[in-house]
A and B are shown apart, each in its own frame.
Chain A
Amino acid sequence: MSIRVQFPLDPNAYKILDEIGVGVSATVYKAICVPMNSTLVAIKCIDLDQSRADIDSLRRETKTMSILSHPNVLESHCSFTVDRHLWMVMPFMSAGSLQSIISSSFPDGLPEPCIAIVLKETLNALSYLHDQGHIHRDVKAGNILIDSNGKVKLADFGVSASIYELNTFERPSSLSYSSSMRLTDVAGTPYWMAPEVIHSHTGYSFKADIWSFGITALELAHGHPPLSDLPPSKSLMMKITKRFRFSDYHDEKHKKNCRNKKFSKAFKDMVAYCLDQNPSKRPCADKLLKHSFFKNCKGLDFLVKKVLQGLPSVEERFKETRALYGPSSHSSTDIEEQVNQEDIEVDFVFQNVKTRRISGWNFNEEGFQLDPVFPTDSKNDSVVKQVRFGGESFIPEKKIEFSESDGSGELIDSAQSSSLNSPAPVEEEMSRVGGSFEGLNQETMLRGLVALKRSLEEQRRHVAIIIGLLGGETNGEEQMVQMIENLKGELDLEKQKNLKVEMELEVLKIVISGAFGAAASFTN
């Protein structure tokens, strides 16, 4: 039984040495705990008066950290309030986060044996968390910390969720652990988020962490997560709208870089396994641990030798990034991740980009990255030619141009459509649209367009939700409209059902009256 050493709950017992990270409403300090042999600690200092700091979620976070106990999970020594601030005292992880290590010393990624070590340790943490009913929801290199001995710990439970806590308030009747347990709120950091988390209406579970884990593997291998050349909001949009700015990730230089890097078959296979579109096909953490990639993993000392030696200290790195981005750049993702605390503040700058529609994300095992998937005809699998939204805006709103190679570029106004179709899976709609461009006859075209229109509405809804979640203008009215539309849809369904029933009734009446008539005539 491990009894935790009680750290003092008095701010005067700690001496702050240096700032090592800063986020929107929190700062992280390196400090020593004087009465405890001047043990080094990290103190996350959260400003409680910030509107973003919700006490209930902080309660959950501190509780989670104090009741979890695993060598690969960052625990908290204690937490207490100091006037308006909450201090969370944690072990000081002297090498900092993998993200900061990469950005300071390994811009093109870590060597594969080192990746195997840190991923295995991280996977141990995930296996434990999932067993405990926790979904981390923010797995990324920025949340994987290393200390001077090469010990790896998964950190930041700011957005983690416990299925038990969740059940406490939201699902009084159905208590369950299994995969049908579903969360529906969007949480995490865009680049690492699993598709089903973004499409949150379908719900997600533990497997979302496995996706993020796969993205983290790519991040460690390439030095940055896929799509990270886009602002986070856009990465999110990309996954929602399934559109992809093609040139960025596939420019020549980038391709070359990737080709020069050799990764083992086992590594590629492991990542491919995690990045399955279908959550149920992704392995659970326990199963993944048995993957051949993690066999014959080297020890932590290898990590120390290969990665930690000669690394600038966390403080130095922090100062460097800060100098680079300026002290006020709170929204800089680099700083954010170094702190590994805060959600990324999202800026909505929509550049004019030409976009190309894709129907999903496939992991390209050869190229070792996520590749966009173009809508294909389900029968012959032939790639449908490019469909471009030529509206020159990221989210096409007014005009849609089909610059099909064989089609005459038609301009169709699809603005302000207001059909009441119940939301259908976007993917399906998309591929249907995609498929329809082969023949290009009017009927299929029309059908395609109707589906496209519907899908655009669906997407618009999602974007609105995201904007709302990111603290943007949530328009109460819009929500109402949304709700009304949903209700209308339901009403329509009910009406249809009603009609059917009435029809049946009519038929029955006829039958009965017929029978009655027959009977009557018989008696007559």
Chain B
Amino acid sequence: MLGGKIGVCVSKPAAAAAAREEVVVKRLSPPPQSPAAAAAAAATKGHSGLSSSKSGHSGLLTSKSGQLVSDSKRMKGLFKSKPRTPVDVVRQTRDLLIYADRSSSSLSDSKRDEKMAELGKSIRDLKSILYGNSESEPVAEACAQLTQEFFRENTLRLLIICLPKLNLEARKDATQVVANLQRQQVNSRLIASDYLEKNTDLLDILIVGYENTEMALHYGVMLRECIRHQSVARYVLESPHVKKFFDYIQLPNFDISADAAATFKELLTRHKSTVAEFLSKNYDWFFAEFNSKLLESTNYITRRQAVKLLGDILLDRSNAVVMTRYVSSRDNLRILMNLLRESSKTIQTEAFHVFKLFAANQNKPPDIVSILIANKSKLLRLFADFKTDKEDEQFEADKAQVVKEIAALEPRE
């Protein structure tokens, strides 16, 4: 019911709605940057989610139904000294971010510190509105208002740009806020997606973030959330940056490389049609890189994750065309056969799931056939004592099939 009201509210021209809210804001809240407000926020920190969501609600009612509600709420607000609506919190955050963005971080005067502390607090308030806190659940209307205000102007841009200037706690909060906003619907639209489509350069910042040890994990989480939107994933896949992932996956810091690998996997598996299109358009360079940089990496964990990902990609029905092409190449076969010979059980098993596609291909090119025949006895011996740790019927069935296929191969006259 209320959702419907928001709908009406939102669908009005943004400027008009904003103007109306402006009035409410002025009436309801003390100047957003006053230290008193910050102190009040601190004092009621535990309740901030609850009260701001309530007042968010009231803001909505006010803007819809006028003076009366507004007055009573204002009275309440005065006594509670916590009248900030979600919209207020977003605006305050934005103002503080603008300040943070302009001021130089080398300048460490007390005023700046104070503002940065306030910024941290308001980001935390955003988080409690979106996620709720130990005392209250998030309120859908408040989340919708917050989201709409957040993307109405460039708050996301400011937040991403200023992230390195925040302290660790604020960075984490900001990351969770950005992650959450990707799923917030306003008028049953993911407006975050619309915003990112128009501001794709932000994605470039996030991707390159992997190169910054300090920021990588925060930007990484944001990026992974953003590519949940198909259009955003498409942009990233088609951008020149996608090549960088081949290096990011092998960064020396495990937490960062593993995060990049998780994002890379998400990019190549989440949106089926986009992935299929990307892979067929970019087949040559992509698999050349994939083979040489990942499957033939000297790094154990890179090989292991890559061969697993390759299996996931090729075994997906939507990538059938790509798969057929992949299993017709003798170079690819050679690489997979090398992986089959690895001493790591995990890599062997994952490699098998790709290798079986070569063997099962009913239109094997002659050079594939000849390689398989040349290695027939070795392969059959390998499979004879090839077992998984756990019993796996599917695996055994696949193995039997592969053995049958290979055993049946005869050299051509």
Contacts and interface: CB of A to CB of B under 8 A. Distances in A.
Interface string B130-141: 111111111000
A175 B168 CA distance: 23
Nearest to B299: A81
Contact of A59 (B138, B218, B258, B345): B258
Contact of A84 (B131, B132, B258, B300): B300
A9 B256 CA distance: 12
Interface in B166-202: 167-169, 172, 176, 179-180, 183
Interface stretch (B70-78, B247-255, B360-368): B247-255
Given A55-B305, A175-B180, A177-B133, A81 B254 contact: yes
Nearest to B344: A49
Contacts of B252: 9-10, 80
Given A62-B254, A69-B168, A80-B252, A56 B262 contact: yes
Interface string B215-232: 001100000110000000
Interface in A23-76: 48-49, 51, 55-56, 58-59, 62-63, 66-67, 69
Classify the interface of chain A: helix, strand, loop or mixed. loop
Interface residues of B, number: 42
Interface string A1-14: 11100100110000
A48 B133 contact: no
A246 interface: no
A168 to B, nearest CB: 7
Interface in B283-339: 299-301, 304-305
B213 interface: yes
A58 B300 contact: no
Contact of A67 (B134, B136, B172, B305): B172
Interface in A169-201: 172-173, 175-180
A301 to B, nearest CB: 29
A99 interface: no
Contacts of A449: none
B137 to A, nearest CB: 5
Nearest to B224: A168
Contact of A48 (B136, B179, B180, B304): B304
A79 B253 contact: yes
Interface string B75-110: 000000000000000000000000000000000000
A164 interface: yes
B364 to A, nearest CB: 32
Contacts of A3: 214
Contacts of A163: 131
Contact of B132 (A67, A130, A178): A178
Interface in B391-405: none
Contact of B134 (A10, A58, A132, A178): A178
Given A49-B346, A164-B179, A9 B168 contact: no
Contact of A177 (B131, B172, B262): B131
A177 B183 CA distance: 15
A63 B175 CA distance: 14
A504 to B, nearest CB: 28
A9 to B, nearest CB: 4
Interface string B120-135: 0000000010111111
B389 interface: yes
B259 interface: yes
A172 B168 CA distance: 26
Contacts of B172: 67, 132
A335 to B, nearest CB: 23
Contacts of B134: 130, 177-179, 206, 284
A84 B261 CA distance: 17
Contacts of A86: 254, 301
A132 B214 CA distance: 19
Contact of A180 (B130, B137, B168, B261): B137
A358 interface: no
A2 B169 CA distance: 10
A252 interface: no
Contacts of A443: none
A59 B262 contact: yes
Given A1-B168, A81-B300, A164-B179, A49 B345 contact: yes
A192 B133 CA distance: 26
A81 B302 CA distance: 10
A517 to B, nearest CB: 42
A406 interface: no
B259 A9 contact: no
Nearest to B388: A51
Nearest to A180: B137
Contacts of B169: 69
Interface string A240-267: 0000000000000000000000000000
B168 A83 contact: no
B344 A164 contact: no
A67 B254 contact: no
B132 A164 contact: no
Nearest to A58: B258
Nearest to A78: B253
Contacts of A172: 183
A180 B168 CA distance: 27
Contacts of B213: 6
A6 B253 CA distance: 10
Contacts of A10: 252
A499 B183 CA distance: 41
Contacts of B259: 59, 63
A293 to B, nearest CB: 22
B138 A175 contact: yes
Contact of A178 (B136, B168, B180, B389): B136
A288 B168 CA distance: 26
A69 B258 CA distance: 21
B43 to A, nearest CB: 15
Given A48-B301, A177-B128, 10 more contacts: A48-B346, A56-B262, A58-B254, A67-B172, A79-B254, A79-B255, A168-B225, A176-B137, A177-B131, A178-B134
Interface of B: 128, 130-138, 167-169, 172, 176, 179-180, 183, 213-214, 217-218, 224-225, 252-255, 258-259, 261-262, 299-301, 304-305, 344-346, 389-390
Rank and list the top 8 A-B pairs by shortest CB-CB distance, nearest first. A59-B258, A177-B131, A9-B252, A79-B254, A62-B255, A178-B132, A1-B167, A177-B132
28 contacts: A1-B167, A48-B301, A51-B345, A51-B390, A55-B301, A59-B254, A59-B262, A62-B254, A67-B172, A78-B253, A80-B253, A80-B254, A81-B299, A81-B301, A83-B300, A86-B301, A163-B131, A164-B179, A168-B179, A173-B183, A175-B138, A176-B132, A176-B137, A177-B128, A177-B134, A178-B132, A178-B135, A178-B137
